[in-house]
Amino acid sequence: DVKVTQSSRYLVKRTGEKVFLECVQDMDHENMFWYRQDPGLGLRLIYFSYDVKMKEKGDIPEGYSVSREKKERFSLILESASTNQTSMYLCASSWRQGSFDYGYTFGSGTRLTVV
Amino acid sequence: DAKTTQPPSMDCAEGRAANLPCNHSTISGNEYVYWYRQIHSQGPQYIIHGLKNNETNEMASLIITEDRKSSTLILPHATLRDTAVYYCIVRRPNAGNNRKLIWGLGTSLAVNP
């Protein structure tokens, strides 16, 4: 089975801290994604990446950056954490064959609280 | 990508079939229907996808109407472990279209003993 592993299940950080959320997938998937999930708002795409060192902004990239130095790892960075970034963060990956994207595999999520 | 409409919640008795509807009346010809579910405190899990033919796998069946404006996910013998939020998504499965994916709030399915 494809595994998408997120480094932390729960995280508490202080306002203004720089926060790194790590995600690793073990099935050589080209595509990787970062979402946040908030009650009443559903899943919203922050950033995604089609390949190493490539990144694309999603719907809500403000306050976030990403890094993909290796194919299996996609990091989400909160440059200066704020309380409105308290959320569940979900990483996902998917396989691409030609131009066809297959279904996503998600990690278990990181529940981040910024105090 | 087209928007979908799902009922906010449904109930189903354990052992019975759960039929989860999804309306996607603005779907275009090259858009696929995907279904995911999210069990509490976990990430969403891919279930099935289809274009126009009915599809079946070990988890579920997907029935897409002939005009493709709606679909139904069928869990043939629901168990308590199927209690989850089910998301219906419509998208073109091409690189470059991930930005427009609209997840919505899904259907919260409760399977009762």
> pLDDT by residue for chain B (113 residues), tens digit each?
668 999 999 999 999 999 999 999 999 888 889 999 999 888 999 999 999 989 999 999 999 999 999 999 999 999 999 999 999 998 876 655 555 567 888 999 999 99
Q: For residues B65 and B69, what is the distance between their CA atoms, to the nearest angstrom?
A: 7
Structure-token pair, residue B51: 């274009």
What is the rounded average pLDDT of the residues A16-40? 93
- The whole-angstrom distance between A55's CA and the closest CA on chain B is 11
- Give the sheet arrangement for strand B84-91, strand by strand: B9-13, B107-112, B84-91, B32-38, B45-50
Q: For residues B66 and B50, what is the distance between their CA atoms, to the nearest angstrom?
A: 13
Q: Residues of A numbered 63-102 whose beta carbons fall under 8 angstroms of chain B's beta carbons: which are they?
A: 90-92, 96, 99-102
Asked if residues B31 and B25 have their Cβ atoms less than 8 Å apart, the reply is no
Q: Minimal Cα distance from B85: which residue of A?
A: A42
- The whole-angstrom distance between B101's CA and the closest CA on chain A is 8
What is the dihedral sign for C-alpha A35, B43, A68, A111? Answer: positive
Q: Minimal Cα distance from A43: which residue of B?
A: B103
- The whole-angstrom distance between B22's CA and the closest CA on chain A is 16
Using CA atoms, how far residue A14 sits from A7, A38, A64, B8, in Å, is 18, 19, 16, 35
| Interval B78-98: pLDDT, tens | 999 999 999 999 887 665 555
Structure-token pair, residue A85: 């970034």
Highest mean pLDDT among A7-11, A94-98, A109-113: A109-113
Which residues from A are below 8 Å from B46, CB to CB?
103-105
Strand ranges, E, within B1-113 = 9-13, 18-23, 32-38, 45-50, 55-56, 61-64, 70-75, 84-91, 107-112
Q: Find which of A5, A97, A101 to mutate to test the B interface (most B CBs within 10 Å of its CB).
A: A101
Query: Is B36 close to A104, i.e. CB distance below 8 A?
Result: yes
φ, ψ (nearest 5 deg) of residue B81: -70, -10
Asked if residues A110 and A11 have their Cβ atoms less than 8 Å apart, the reply is yes
